[in-house]
Each structure stands twice: as C-alpha cells, then as structure tokens.
Structure 1
Amino acid sequence: MLRQVLTRLEQANALDGASDRLQAAVTATIRPRSLRDLLHGTWLGHPLHPVLVQVPVGAFLSAALLDLAGTVTSSRSSERAATALIGAGLAGVAPAVLAGLVDWSETTKDRRRVGLVHAAANALATSLYATSLAARLTGRVTQGKALAFAGLSVAGAGAFLGGHLSYAQGAGISHAAPEVARVPEEWTVIGSLSSLPDGKPAVRRADDVAVLLFRQGDRVTALIDRCSHEGGPLSEGDVADGCVVCPWHGSTFRLKDGAVVHGPAANDQPVLPVRVRDGMVEVRRP
C-alpha cells in the first residue's frame, strides 16, 4: 500500500501547477551562479542539503530525548536544554531549506512532486516546533512538549520522503558512478589516437560504457560520458578553458580530473586511467 501511495505521488500531475510556480520563484530569486553553486555543494564535491539537515534533525531528536527524560525525572534542566535545542534546530532550518530548494528546482517533474510534499511536511514540522518553542518560553511546557513530539512525527514523514527521493528516485546521487563499475578492470582498447580530433571531445566505448575522450597532442584524458547530475551526454557539450559543459543543465567539469566547477552537479565526474600504446588508446577501471 505504501509503495502504491508513493507511485501515485510521483505521478500526481495535479501538483505540477504549484511545483512549476515554486520552481520559477526559486530560479528567479536565487540567481547568482556562485550562490547556487554554494547551495548545491559544488565546492564540497557532495550535495550540501543532506549535510545541513543534520543540524535541525539532530537538535529536534535530542530535544525529544531530553523531554522524555524530563517527564520521567521532572528535571527542569532537561526542559531548559530541550528548549535551547529546539531554538538551535529552528535556526538551522533556513540554510537547509535554501539548499534543498535549489537542488529541487533542478530535478525532473516526478521528483519535484515528491519533493513538494517533502517540503510541505517539513514546513508543517517547523511550524509545530516554532509553536512549541513559543509555548515553552511562556511557561506552557506540557503543551510545548506535545507540539514538539507532533513536529518530530511530521518531520519523520518528511524524512521518509526525502529518503525516497534519494534512494528510489536517484535525486542527488551521481548518475555516472554506476558506469564506472561496468568498465573492464583490464586495459581495454577503445580506439586509435589518430582517430581522435585534437582539442575536441569525442566519445568511444569501453564494452558498452560511453567514455568521453579529450585529446591534446599525444595526451588524452578519459571521463565517463554520462553526466553525474542527470546523465546527460557530456561529449555533446561545449569545451572551454579546460572544462566540458553538460548540454542538459550546464554542469561544468574539469577535463583533467573531473572536478565539478559549476552546478547543478555537486558530484565530481569519474575519471578513468588512460594510456596510449602503439598508437591505440586504452582505458580501464580505476
């Protein structure tokens, strides 16, 4: 039943109107590329949103444990510590939300539908925690605890949807990483050096894995051709300043080491070992 609900949510095109409007608002509001790269986690080589959510999640969960302890022992110090943790958790919500929205705005429609409900659940949880904090600060501790436990339950549902986005729908993962495991372990000839254009990208195959080759004289670099962001064909993108730009969403990677320079990709592009022997280009799995 739960799987059926998730499938229906992925296919719920009734959410597309709200999703499209929010996507347009995020794109229009968060415009500087440097800011978007910061929020994507491009500088980190890893999506930033999952890192930032640890602050509110950890604070709220710790507050729940202290609330339970305070209820059992009637400890005022536990109650005060729980209140402080809820305040800290609320302070950590904004950066996590911004990073999540920027990532969400660059995903496919089916992911945005699930992400919209994920965001709505987290917004409700945040409201419950904010109300809980207000109740605690005005002496209504029992009400504050009840609101916090309700917030934790809703946040748990939102986290479940976040997990579905990542692990079932592949949001935020490297779409290039699985290709590496399919590259042969032994050195494999994928073409002649003379067949590669100098200074332009070319695609060859190692077994059935598409590999982007870039030749400069006798030197060749090899990257997985499938973009780590959404699987776009890097070999069809532009090359400038030693980087290749994905033709789908503009993710930019250094050719020499695959490092991500601009998002929306946050993961580096896998690079393959390459050598030239007897005029033939060979690659293998790292």
Structure 2
Amino acid sequence: MLDDMRQAKRPVSVALTGPYGHPFHPILVTVPIGAWLASVVFDIGSHIADEPVFLARGAQWLIAIGVLGALAAAAVGFLDLFAIPTGTPAFRIGLVHMGLNLAVTAAFALDFWWRASATGVEGAVPTGPLTLSIIAVAALALSGYLGGELAYHYGVRVADETTQAAGYRR
C-alpha cells in the first residue's frame, strides 16, 4: 500500500507534468474553469445589458479559450492519472473525474459550434446555449470536487507528510 501511495505522488514525467509536489494540472485547470464561469456570467449579462451583442460574443470567445485550456489541462491530467495505481479507489475517482471533464469540454465545444452556427442572431444569448453552459458548469463543479478529493483526500501528486513537515520546522 505504501508503494502505491508513493507511486501516486511521483510524476510520470517531470518535464510534462511538473516536479514532485508541484504538479502542473492544478494551475492549468484555472484557465478553463475561469473562462467558462466568466462565459456564463457574460451570457446572463447579455439578457440584462443594453448592448447584449458585446457580451454574447465575449462569452463565445471565453468558451473557445476554455476549450483550448481544457485540452492542455487534460493532457497533463491524463499523465497524472497514469501515476495512480489501477484498481484503487483513487484511480476510479480519477477515471470519473477525467470522464466528466471530457464531457464538459465536449459540451462547451458543442456550445461554441452552436453559437457560431446561429448566424444572424444579434442580441442576448439564446436559451439553448445558455442552458447547455449552465449544465456544463454544474458538471464541472462536480468534477472539481472529485479533483479536490484526489489531491486533498488521497494526496495524488502531493508531497508526502515528511516533506510537508519540513515547512513547519523552526
């Protein structure tokens, strides 16, 4: 069991996933999360503002930025998943986390296409794309919870307790 825990804390590739105790995945996920949350705020704002087109177009750009950022985060996260021993609760949570994130990314890619194909629509974001964005953000929240479970409960890619304790020595 201790060997499994040590394996889940070590990177598959330092150059690609970050050094021991400093994984790249958590910092990369801030791009899609922030972009997609902001896109929903822009979507809602497009229903309130006097000039909704600016916010609707901004939301579409934020969705595109989020999809691109998610692809980068997914590549690194996939490599982190390889560090977790198969057949463990942490690995199963990692698979669900990955599956949800891929579904969310696909939903936002579809959302971007849906908006882009709605030529001639000038005004607030239509109800369909807005609803899709809200559902995708809800799934993203669940996936984020699972990612936190991996890091904070199971310690995946987190430095071991002896390394952590060094920060509290006087």
Same fold (TM over 0.5): yes
Counting helix residues as a fraction of each chain, which structure ranks higher?
2
- Residue in 1 that maps onto 2:163: 177
Provide the alpha-carbon RMSD of the alignment.
Answer: 2.1
- Residue in 2 that maps onto 1:123: 102
- 8 A Cα contact 2:21 2:157, kept in partner: no
- Structure with the larger RCO, 1 or 2 (CA within 8 Å, 6+ apart): 2
Larger Rg: 1
Structure 2: state its 5+ residue gaps: 1-11
What CA distance in whole angstroms lies between the structure 1 residues aligned with 2:21 and 2:163? 13
- Residue in 2 that maps onto 1:100: 77
1:154 corresponds to 2:130: no
Encode CA deviations 1:41-81: one digit per residue, 9 max, x unaligned: 12x96110001111111100110111111122261100000
**Helix, strand or coil: the match of 1:92?**
helix
1:65 corresponds to 2:16: no
- 8 A Cα contact 1:136 1:144, kept in partner: yes
- Residue in 2 that maps onto 1:52: 28
- Residue in 2 that maps onto 1:134: 113
Aligned residue type for 2:110: T
**What is the identity percentage for the equivalent residue pairs of Structure 1 and Structure 2?**
28
**Helix, strand or coil: the match of 1:174?**
coil
- Residue in 2 that maps onto 1:254: none
CA drift of 1:179 comes to: 4.2
CA drift of 1:101 comes to: 1.0
Aligned residue type for 2:158: I
**Helix, strand or coil: the match of 2:155?**
coil
What CA distance in whole angstroms lies between the structure 2 residues aligned with 1:65 and 1:117? 27
Structure 1 residues 174 and 158 mapped into 2: Cα distance closer, same or farther (>3 Å)? same
- Residue in 2 that maps onto 1:168: 153
- 8 A Cα contact 2:21 2:159, kept in partner: no
Structure 1: state its 5+ residue gaps: 1-32, 183-284
Aligned residue type for 1:73: A
Counting strand residues as a fraction of each chain, which structure ranks higher?
1
CA drift of 1:94 comes to: 1.4
Aligned residue type for 1:160: Y
Aligned residue type for 2:59: A
Encode CA deviations 1:89-126: one digit per residue, 9 max, x unaligned: 11111110111111111123221110000011111111
What CA distance in whole angstroms lies between the structure 1 residues aligned with 2:31 and 2:61? 13
Structure 1 residues 111 and 96 mapped into 2: Cα distance closer, same or farther (>3 Å)? same
Aligned residue type for 1:137: A
What CA distance in whole angstroms lies between the structure 2 residues aligned with 1:167 and 1:118? 14
Match of 2:53 among 71, 76, 87: 76
**Helix, strand or coil: the match of 1:72?**
coil
What CA distance in whole angstroms lies between the structure 2 residues aligned with 1:178 and 1:90? 34
CA drift of 1:173 comes to: 1.1
What CA distance in whole angstroms lies between the structure 1 residues aligned with 2:167 and 2:46? 51
What CA distance in whole angstroms lies between the structure 1 residues aligned with 2:92 and 2:66? 26
What CA distance in whole angstroms lies between the structure 2 residues aligned with 1:67 and 1:73? 10
**Helix, strand or coil: the match of 1:73?**
coil
What CA distance in whole angstroms lies between the structure 2 residues aligned with 1:119 and 1:171? 14
- Counting only pairs closer than 5 Å after superposition, residues 5-16 of structure 1 correspond to structure 2 as none
